[in-house]
Amino acid sequence: PVRGFTSLHILAAGAVQTGAVGPMDSIVVAIDARREEVYVQSFGPNLSLDGTPTICSLEKAAADAPMGPGWIVGSGSALLHGHLSKLGSALAVSWAPDQPDARVLARIAAESEGPGGNPSEGPAALVAPVVPLYLRAPDARIKVIPT
């Protein structure tokens, strides 16, 4: 079976698996997307989805983030925290790893299987083909040269 997990989900799960945040804590994952933007997604207790993955400005990410208490993880956590602190947010920056870890992916994939290892019974049972999720259009453009 094939399952898809975003880098944002893997970072949130890694924060819990390393003990950097508790399993019942709220987590905002922010990856630095450059250009004063972040890839961001919020998770509630037990890594429940609290929002969809998106790319947005730091200001919008701060305005849309839960006010806390909870944790910010990822390579954009310090950037986002700077904007959140201006809003009086109680979210704090975690020491969790800021890069996705394949071991974390393997573990959450295994945990998504149902009882007895039956993937068709698990909470993330495959219901549609897995497709890539690109939140930003590519910067590269094909230049057509007239002949």
Mean pLDDT in consecutive groups of 10 residues from the start of the chain, 147 residues:
88 95 94 94 92 93 90 95 90 92 92 58 56 82 83
Query: What does the pLDDT read at residue 91?
Result: 92
Query: What does the pLDDT read at residue 15?
Result: 96
Query: What does the pLDDT read at residue 140?
Result: 81
Query: What does the pLDDT read at residue 118?
Result: 46
CB of 40 closer than 8 Å to CB of 75: no
Query: What does the pLDDT read at residue 115?
Result: 53
CA distance 110 to 102: 12
Q: What's the Cα-to-Cα distance from 104 to each of 4, 7, 15, 84, 143, rounded to whole Å?
A: 13, 10, 10, 28, 40
CA distance 63 to 136: 20
Residue count (the chain): 147
The single residue listed with the structure tokens 């993880």 is 73
Query: What does the pLDDT read at residue 128?
Result: 63
Query: What does the pLDDT read at residue 122?
Result: 45
Query: 101: helix, coil or strand?
Result: coil
Query: What does the pLDDT read at residue 127?
Result: 55
